[in-house]
A and B are shown apart, each in its own frame.
Chain A
Amino acid sequence: MIGFAARRLLQAMIVMLVVALLAFTMFRFVGDPINQMVGIETSLEEREALRERLGLNDPIPVQFLRFITQAAQFDFGTSYQFRQPVSELFAKRIPATLELSFASALFALVVGIPMGIYAGLNRESAISKLFLSVSLIGISLPTFFIGILLIFLFSVTLQWLPSFGRGEVVQVGSWWTTGFLTLSGLKALILPSITLGLYQMTLIMRLIRAEMLEVIRTDYIKFARARGLPDRLVNFRHALKNTLVPVITITGLQLGAIIAFATITETVFQWPGMGLMFLQAVQNVDIPIMSAYLLLTAFLFVAINFIVDILYFFIDPRLRVGRP
C-alpha cells in the first residue's frame, strides 16, 4: 500500500513539475508584461529599471528555479496589475468559484438524474426523445453562446434575473463570502450555474439512461419482476442503485473540470471568481496570476486522480496483490 501510494505520489510530482515547466515556458511568448504595467509615456530607462527589479533580465534557468522554489512555498509573487500578493487574490476569489461549481454540480445532478431515469425507463416516449434532443444541444453549443442566449432571454427580454455579478454577498468567517444567504445572491447564481452545468447535466443524463437500459436487461431485474415486486421498488431500489456507481465516479472527476473550466462562464457573467481573474490576467500579461492558476488547476486534477487511485486500491482487490 505504501509503495503504491509512494509511486503514485512520485508520478504526481513529476506531472506538476512538467506543468510548471510548460507554464513557465509558455509565458515567454505571451508578450511583454512591462508594456501592460506602465503608461505609454513611461520612458525607456524607467521600463528597463522595472524589468531589472522584477528579475526579468536574469537567465531563464535562474528565473525558473526561483519560480519553482517560491511556488513550493505557496508564494506566487505579486500580481503585476493589482500589486497584491497572488495567493491573497486567489483566496478572495475562491469562494465565488467554489459556490458556482457547487451550484452547477447540484443542478447537473438534480436535473440530470431524473431525466436520465425517465429516458431509460420510457425509451420510446416522446418526452424521452425531447430530452435526448435537448441534451444534444447542451453538448454541442459552446458555453459562452449558451450564456449570452440565457442573458438575452432572462435578463434583457424578461428581466427576471441579473445578467452579471454575484448579487449581494454575506461575509462568513474571516475570508469566505457567500451568495447563498441573500435573495439577490441566489438569483445571480441561477443563470451561470445552468450555463456551467448544462454539459455535465447532459452527460449524466445520457450516462444514466445508457446504464439503466443496460441494467434493466440483467437477470436479477427480471427475477425481481418475476417475484412480483412493485415497479417502483425494482426501478429505484434495484436498478438505479446499480447505475449509480459509474455516475459517482464521473461526477467526481467532472467536479474538477467544472472548477477548472469555469473560466468562460465566469467571463460571460462577470462572476468574480478565479477563472475571470485568469482571463483578465491573460489579457494583461499578468504572469504571476497565470502561472499560479495553471499550477492550481494541475494540482486539482492531480489530487483528484491521486485520491481516485487510492480509492480504487480499496475497491479493487486485484490492485492489492503484491507485485514482484
Chain B
Amino acid sequence: MTKKSLLLAAALLAAGAGTSAQAETLKFAFQGALNALDPYSLNETFTLSSLGNTYEGLTRRGADLSIEPALAESWEVLEPTRWRFHLRKGVKFHNGSDFTAEDVAFSVDRVRSEGSDLTTRVPADAKVEVVDDYTVDFVLASPNPILHYEWDTFYIMDKEWTTENDAVKVTSASDTTPNYAALHANGTGPFKISSHEAGVKTVYEKNDGWWDEAKHNLDTVEFTPIGSDATRVAALLSGELDMVYPIPVQDIKRINDNAGTVALTGPELRTIFLGMDQMRDELLYSDVKGKNPMKDARVRKAFYQAIDIEAIKKKVMRDLSTPSAIMISPFLFSKAGEFERYPYDTEAAKALLAEAGYPDGFSIGMDCPNDRYVNDEAICQAVAAMLARINVKVDLNAQPKAKYFAKILASGGYDTSFYLLGWTPGSLDSWNVLSNLMNCRDESGAGSPFNNGGFCDEKIDSLTKEILVENDPEKRDGMIAEAFKISHDNAYYIPLHQQGLAWGVADNVDLVQRADNQFKFRFVTKN
C-alpha cells in the first residue's frame, strides 16, 4: 500500500466516523406532493412552506408568526409611499454568489411577470429603486401599511443563476418544458435541495454557509409525500418516519397511546364559515319562489342561532376546533376578543323565521366540499341536521374539491345558494379578508371575487378602502373592527370555527408547530 492511499483510507475512515457519530436525518411525510421548485409557480401553503427552507424572503416569520428581519436587516418608512430596506451583508446563495440589491430588484420583476402565481406579493404600480448594493427603496403609488406582510413567502432569487440557466420566465402550466428553476433550487436558506423527484422524494441537506446561527441539529431532511391517511399514520407508528402531517382527528388518540409518538394539536389560522346567496332575487335551489329569503337578515340570524357550534366541536371535530365569532383568526386581529357568537337557541331561531314570514320553514340546497377541510362533509351534515330542527330542509350536495370549487366560484357562475368555505388570509391581515370576502361584486366577480353570496354593503366597501391606506395601527384596527361588526350585526356570514392542526411527531423530535401550518426545519432538533 502506498503512502498516498493510506492517507486516503485514513481520511475516509475519519470522514465516515465523523458523519455516523452526529449525522441527524429527519424523515417526514405530508399528504400532498411538492411539485415545481420555482418559488413563484404556485401560491399554495405546502409549496411555499417547503421552499421556505431553501429560499428566504426579505422578512421571515418566527415561531409565533411575528415578522422578523431576514435578508433585510432593517427597514424604515421614509415617507408614506417610500420604504427603505437595508439588506444583510455577506449573505451567499447556495451556488456561492453574493446576495445584493440587484437580486431583490430582479426578484420583484420576476414575481410580477406573466406566469407567476404570486403577482400580488408586490403591488403592480410599485417601483423598485436600487440605492446602493445593500439598500433598496420601494416607491408606492399609495400608502400601504402591510406592504411586507406577505414577504416571508416572497423568496429572493439569484439574478446571475436564474439568467445563466435561462430561467427568467416563470414556468407556467401552459409551457411544454419546465425551465431550470422548476427542477433546481438556489436560495440563501438553511437547507439546500440535493435531490428532487416530484411526487416521490425530496432530499434537503444542511447549508453550512447559512448567515444565521443554526438552532436546528439536522444534516439531512427527507420528504416523502404519502397520500393515504392510514399509511401515513402507520409509517409514523412503525418508527420509519419522524414526523407526518396532517393526521386524521380519529387517529390522534392512537398516536398518543403509542409509545414513542405524540400528536401535536393546535388551532390553525383557517376560518371555516357558511355563506349564503344574497344577490339573486330568487334562490337557485329552494322551494321559495319569487323571492330570496336569504336577503332577510332575520333568516340569516335564524340559521346562525340554529347551529350548535359546541356540538360540532365535540362530535364532529373531536375537540380539535375553536368556535369563532369573526371571519379572521383571533391570533391575527387585536380586537377579536370584542366579538361574541350569537347564542345557540333553537326557539329564538324559530321565532326569527316566523317573523320573517317562514313559520313552516323552507328548503335550500347546500354545497360542500368533501376533501378540502378537516371533516368538511361531516360539518355540513351536522349543520343540515341542526337546521332541520327549525324546519329548514337542507339538500346537501357534497363533492370533491375539484368539482366543488368549479361550481361555487366565479368560474362556475357562483352556482350556489348556501355553501361552506374556509379562508386563511395570505397576508395574515384583516384587509385581505375584507377585500376578498366582504366587498360588493358584480356577476363576473369583479370586486370581491370570493364573496360568493354576493352581498353588498357600501359601508364595508368604503371602510376597506380607508383601511388599505391607513398607516396608524390603532386607527386601522378600529376601522377593521367596525367593518367586522357590520358583518356580524347583519350576519352576512356565519363563522363556524378555526379548524385544528394535527401533526404526528416522534418523541425524540422537537419542533415548532406554527399556526399557519408551515413546517420549518430550522426549528427542529432531533436527539
Instruction: List the interface of chain A (C-beta within 8 A of B).
Output: 30-44, 46-47, 50, 53-54, 77-78, 80-85, 89, 92, 148, 151-152, 155-156, 159, 162-165, 267-270, 272, 276-277, 279-280, 283-285
Contacts and interface: CB of A to CB of B under 8 A. Distances in A.
A277 B33 CA distance: 11
Given A41-B432, A80-B173, A81-B33, 16 more contacts: A30-B403, A31-B402, A32-B402, A38-B117, A39-B42, A39-B43, A39-B44, A50-B173, A54-B173, A81-B35, A148-B234, A156-B234, A268-B228, A268-B230, A270-B225, A280-B227
Nearest to A29: B403
A151 B409 contact: no
Contact of B446 (A44, A152, A270): A44
Contacts of A47: 411
10 contacts: A41-B120, A42-B43, A53-B174, A77-B176, A80-B173, A83-B38, A84-B183, A84-B198, A163-B235, A165-B224
A89 B183 CA distance: 13
Contact of B226 (A77, A82, A164): A164
B176 A270 contact: no
A188 to B, nearest CB: 10
A115 to B, nearest CB: 29
B197 interface: yes
A306 B234 CA distance: 43
Nearest to A49: B114
Given A46-B119, A280-B33, A82 B198 contact: yes
Q: Which of A33, A41, A92 has the most CB of B within 10 A?
A: A41
B interface majority secondary structure: loop
Nearest to A38: B117
Given A44-B444, A159-B238, A163-B240, A270 B228 contact: yes
B462 to A, nearest CB: 22
B271 interface: no
A83 B36 contact: yes
A2 B454 CA distance: 67
Contacts of A164: 29, 224, 226, 231, 234-235, 240
A83 B182 contact: yes
Contacts of A50: 172-174
Contacts of A35: 401-402, 405-406, 409, 411
A78 B201 CA distance: 20
Nearest to B254: A156
Interface string B193-233: 00001111100000000000000000000001111101100
Contacts of A159: 238-239
Interface residues of B, number: 60
B227 A163 contact: no
B79 interface: no
A59 B22 CA distance: 61
Contacts, number: 155
Contacts of A267: 227-228
Give me the 7 closest cross-chain CB pairs, A-B, nearest first: A39-B43, A31-B402, A32-B406, A53-B174, A272-B200, A155-B238, A31-B403
A152 B237 CA distance: 9
A285 B405 CA distance: 12
A46 B42 CA distance: 13
A53 B411 contact: no
B405 A32 contact: yes
A83 B198 CA distance: 10
A263 to B, nearest CB: 12
A36 B38 CA distance: 17
Contact of A269 (B42, B197, B231): B231
B397 interface: no
Interface string B433-466: 0001000000011100110000000000000000
B46 to A, nearest CB: 11
Contacts of A33: 402
Interface of B: 29, 33, 35-36, 38, 41-44, 117-120, 171-178, 182-183, 197-201, 224-228, 230-231, 234-235, 237-240, 371, 400-403, 405-406, 409-412, 426, 432, 436, 444-446, 449-450
A43 B42 contact: no
B482 to A, nearest CB: 24
Contact of A78 (B175, B227, B228, B237): B175
Contacts of B432: 41
Contact of A82 (B36, B235, B412): B36
B43 A83 contact: no
Nearest to B422: A40
Nearest to B44: A39
A66 to B, nearest CB: 13
A43 B449 contact: yes
A37 B402 CA distance: 11
B35 A155 contact: no
Contacts of B197: 92, 272
B175 A83 contact: yes
A278 to B, nearest CB: 11
A148 to B, nearest CB: 5
A164 B31 CA distance: 13
Contact of B117 (A31, A42, A155): A42
B422 to A, nearest CB: 10
Contacts of B177: 78, 85
Contacts of B446: 44
B402 A283 contact: yes
B372 to A, nearest CB: 10
Contacts of B117: 38-39, 42
B234 A151 contact: yes
A46 B114 CA distance: 9
A284 B199 CA distance: 13
Contacts of A78: 173-178
Contact of A54 (B38, B119, B174, B231): B174
A159 B226 CA distance: 19
A156 B237 contact: yes
B41 A83 contact: yes
A78 B179 CA distance: 12
A151 B41 CA distance: 36
Q: Which of A33, A53, A77, A162 has the most CB of B within 10 A?
A: A53
A46 B29 CA distance: 32
Contacts of B239: 159
Q: Which of A32, A267, A269, A285 has the most CB of B within 10 A?
A: A32
A37 B235 contact: no
Contacts of A39: 42-44, 117-118, 426
